[in-house]
Chain A
């Protein structure tokens, strides 16, 4: 990240008693793909709306290309926005939608230029031949492309995407993901992408920003966040970790699996033991295991194509997941209600503790 194209400084936004954004500070470089991850109500959409200028923050500043744009109206910002519901202009054709900003925007272009750029954008998103269709005469995926083309035609340096793939079916979503990345790389624009799906966030973002209750709780590269979430909440949102409550004291974590050494514990507001689904191993009960051992019974499994997820229930009644990648060989199979012993390499666990350094 050589030059910061965009910066948020201590932005706070309230709706009545509800704090939608709490002192949010972040930065985005040029030509960067940042995805925002967080549960619904975490303030992701509000964050985008504040950046776009649809909402005004109570405090804090929004800086874009070196300018303070906190008080600049949306239409003077030059920031693109792609809506979840696409928000196409229903009374206009595809080409008129794409050319709308060029025609009526800040610097109106000559008709020939509008036509040329609109066609160029339509080609870019692969909608050639649909130019004169009404926007209610095309499919969901095509509408998504129109929305994108309409935004990109303005050549913004920053594009905000609010769950742009949320309204599409799974198949289309996968294809659009790849295309979105490819289009962005070709144009060299910065994308801020809000998503409710942790897979999408991790797969698409160069960097991932995790939000919870209006606060930015972690920012980092996808692999960083994935390998070392900095709080139990982040680990929870990633939906990749089994989380156990317990007590961390003097370098040891005591949980339902016994008392095991936890040397590299991180400081957090509560004691939580996190171990990734794909680090779990299941062995026969009574096997001699070193380290953690958790008695559990097998309930069900789910086939994901490249991996298989097994669900176990512990004595305490909580569900523990174990993911096995099929590339690592044939997966284990289990009988219903089969008793197992779950274990893992404690060095691969992430431990959070109030007493940690």
Chain B
């Protein structure tokens, strides 16, 4: 009677397969295949108005022989490192306060919500809002002059690399705060109490207990920030006055002038950078286990 029937285990496995299938297909078709396409098209032959699938290394050679393109790679890496450090420096103390020092759960939730509210404004408008902040007649200069800290308005604030860094730090620092605060909130307070009873000062407790336990949060936050900063082009476009060219900006302008092959080359390079960065972070923390 049971010879033809599937075992319970086999039946469950079948359900699992069917549950996973749509998601796998979607991701394969609309994520993996497109990325493979970038690699593929980067070897296509590009003429002024056309592109044909004849394989060539021309676009690759063009990339590495042009200082504009190679510079954009270094600029991307530089801005990424600076913004990563800045979001960490700005975000960690906030996370420490929200996740560890605030004892009331309601207050820490309220603080987290306050951090999230700005995201309800369109990303592009948030970027744009930095212009009247940083400009020569912007809010910062006005306030500083009213306080007589400066006599002349500071001009380097807007349309420079600095404005891009300030803008990105503000936009992305919350992605650091969230995961770190989450990890900090999970720390068993008794461990800290016990360490304090044993006479450890805050500095020692921080470096020996709190920081190591918050590290997965730092890594998750760093992955978030890295993914977004490395793929950026809007902030740099809007706040640098086209002076800062990231890999993303190159892709946008190349696509704009229908240079698909060159856009793909830059895309592949961005993918490689991305892969190295994420793989590096994932070596520190196993993401799946932390969830």
Q: Do A's and B's CB atoms come within 8 Å in the complex?
A: yes
Interface residues of A (CB under 8 A from B): 53, 55-56, 61, 67-68, 70-74
Compute how far the CA of A61 lies from the CA of B11 in the bound complex, rounded to whole angstroms: 17
Residue of A with least CB distance to B1? A68
**Residues B1-52 near A (CB distance < 8 A):** 1-2, 5-9, 11
- Give chain B residues whose Cβ lies under 8 Å from the Cβ of A56: 7-9
- Enumerate 16 A-B pairs (CB-CB under 8 Å) in ascending A order: A53-B8, A55-B8, A56-B8, A56-B9, A68-B1, A68-B2, A70-B2, A71-B2, A71-B5, A71-B6, A71-B7, A71-B8, A72-B5, A72-B8, A73-B8, A73-B11
Compute how far the CA of A53 lies from the CA of B2 in the bound complex, rounded to whole angstroms: 14
- Give chain B residues whose Cβ lies under 8 Å from the Cβ of A74: 8
Compute how far the CA of A73 lies from the CA of B6 in the bound complex, rounded to whole angstroms: 10
Compute how far the CA of A55 lies from the CA of B9 in the bound complex, rounded to whole angstroms: 8
CB distance from B53 to the nearest CB of A (A): 50
CB distance from A50 to the nearest CB of B (A): 9
Closest 8 CB pairs of A and B: A56-B8, A71-B5, A56-B9, A68-B2, A71-B2, A71-B7, A56-B7, A68-B1
- Give chain A residues whose Cβ lies under 8 Å from the Cβ of B5: 71-72
- Give chain A residues whose Cβ lies under 8 Å from the Cβ of B8: 53, 55-56, 71-74
Residue of B with least CB distance to A69? B2
- Give chain B residues whose Cβ lies under 8 Å from the Cβ of A55: 8
- Give chain A residues whose Cβ lies under 8 Å from the Cβ of B9: 56
Compute how far the CA of A72 lies from the CA of B10 in the bound complex, rounded to whole angstroms: 12
Interface of A is mostly: loop
Residue of B with least CB distance to A55? B8
Compute how far the CA of A266 lies from the CA of B5 in the bound complex, rounded to whole angstroms: 45
Most chain B CB within 10 A, of A53, A70, A71, is at A71
CB distance from B147 to the nearest CB of A (A): 57
Interface of B is mostly: loop
A71-B6, A72-B5, A73-B8 are known; give 18 further A-B pairs, CB within 8 A: A53-B8, A55-B8, A56-B7, A56-B8, A56-B9, A61-B2, A67-B1, A68-B1, A68-B2, A70-B2, A70-B7, A71-B2, A71-B5, A71-B7, A71-B8, A72-B8, A73-B11, A74-B8
CB distance from A47 to the nearest CB of B (A): 15
Compute how far the CA of A55 lies from the CA of B5 in the bound complex, rounded to whole angstroms: 16
- Give chain A residues whose Cβ lies under 8 Å from the Cβ of B11: 73
- Give chain A residues whose Cβ lies under 8 Å from the Cβ of B2: 61, 68, 70-71
Contact pattern, B 196-207, Cβ under 8 Å of A = 1, otherwise 0: 000000000000
Compute how far the CA of A96 lies from the CA of B9 in the bound complex, rounded to whole angstroms: 31
CB distance from A4 to the nearest CB of B (A): 17
Compute how far the CA of A67 lies from the CA of B7 in the bound complex, rounded to whole angstroms: 15
- Give chain A residues whose Cβ lies under 8 Å from the Cβ of B7: 56, 70-71
Compute how far the CA of A70 lies from the CA of B5 in the bound complex, rounded to whole angstroms: 10
Compute how far the CA of A56 lies from the CA of B5 in the bound complex, rounded to whole angstroms: 13
Compute how far the CA of A56 lies from the CA of B2 in the bound complex, rounded to whole angstroms: 13
Compute how far the CA of A213 lies from the CA of B9 in the bound complex, rounded to whole angstroms: 23
Most chain A CB within 10 A, of B1, B2, B8, B9, is at B8
Compute how far the CA of A53 lies from the CA of B7 in the bound complex, rounded to whole angstroms: 10
**Residues B202-232 near A (CB distance < 8 A):** none
Residue of A with least CB distance to B4? A71
- Give chain A residues whose Cβ lies under 8 Å from the Cβ of B6: 71
CB distance from B249 to the nearest CB of A (A): 52
Compute how far the CA of A61 lies from the CA of B3 in the bound complex, rounded to whole angstroms: 12
Residue of B with least CB distance to A53? B8
Compute how far the CA of A68 lies from the CA of B2 in the bound complex, rounded to whole angstroms: 7
Residue of A with least CB distance to B6? A71
- Give chain A residues whose Cβ lies under 8 Å from the Cβ of B1: 67-68
- Give chain B residues whose Cβ lies under 8 Å from the Cβ of A67: 1
Compute how far the CA of A61 lies from the CA of B1 in the bound complex, rounded to whole angstroms: 12
Compute how far the CA of A55 lies from the CA of B12 in the bound complex, rounded to whole angstroms: 10
Contact pattern, B 262-288, Cβ under 8 Å of A = 1, otherwise 0: 000000000000000000000000000
CB distance from B1 to the nearest CB of A (A): 5
Compute how far the CA of A257 lies from the CA of B149 in the bound complex, rounded to whole angstroms: 96
Compute how far the CA of A336 lies from the CA of B11 in the bound complex, rounded to whole angstroms: 64
Residue of B with least CB distance to A50? B8
Compute how far the CA of A68 lies from the CA of B6 in the bound complex, rounded to whole angstroms: 13
CB distance from A65 to the nearest CB of B (A): 13
- Give chain B residues whose Cβ lies under 8 Å from the Cβ of A53: 8
Compute how far the CA of A70 lies from the CA of B6 in the bound complex, rounded to whole angstroms: 10
Residue of B with least CB distance to A61? B2
Residue of A with least CB distance to B12? A56
Compute how far the CA of A60 lies from the CA of B8 in the bound complex, rounded to whole angstroms: 13
- Give chain B residues whose Cβ lies under 8 Å from the Cβ of A73: 8, 11
Compute how far the CA of A173 lies from the CA of B148 in the bound complex, rounded to whole angstroms: 78
Most chain B CB within 10 A, of A53, A67, A73, is at A73
CB distance from B265 to the nearest CB of A (A): 48
- Give chain B residues whose Cβ lies under 8 Å from the Cβ of A71: 2, 5-8
Compute how far the CA of A74 lies from the CA of B6 in the bound complex, rounded to whole angstroms: 13
CB distance from B180 to the nearest CB of A (A): 33
- Give chain B residues whose Cβ lies under 8 Å from the Cβ of A61: 2
Most chain B CB within 10 A, of A56, A67, A74, is at A56
- Give chain B residues whose Cβ lies under 8 Å from the Cβ of A70: 2, 7
Compute how far the CA of A142 lies from the CA of B2 in the bound complex, rounded to whole angstroms: 40
CB distance from A16 to the nearest CB of B (A): 15
CB distance from B18 to the nearest CB of A (A): 16
Compute how far the CA of A105 lies from the CA of B1 in the bound complex, rounded to whole angstroms: 24
CB distance from A52 to the nearest CB of B (A): 11
Compute how far the CA of A102 lies from the CA of B8 in the bound complex, rounded to whole angstroms: 24
Compute how far the CA of A53 lies from the CA of B6 in the bound complex, rounded to whole angstroms: 13
Contact pattern, B 233-265, Cβ under 8 Å of A = 1, otherwise 0: 000000000000000000000000000000000
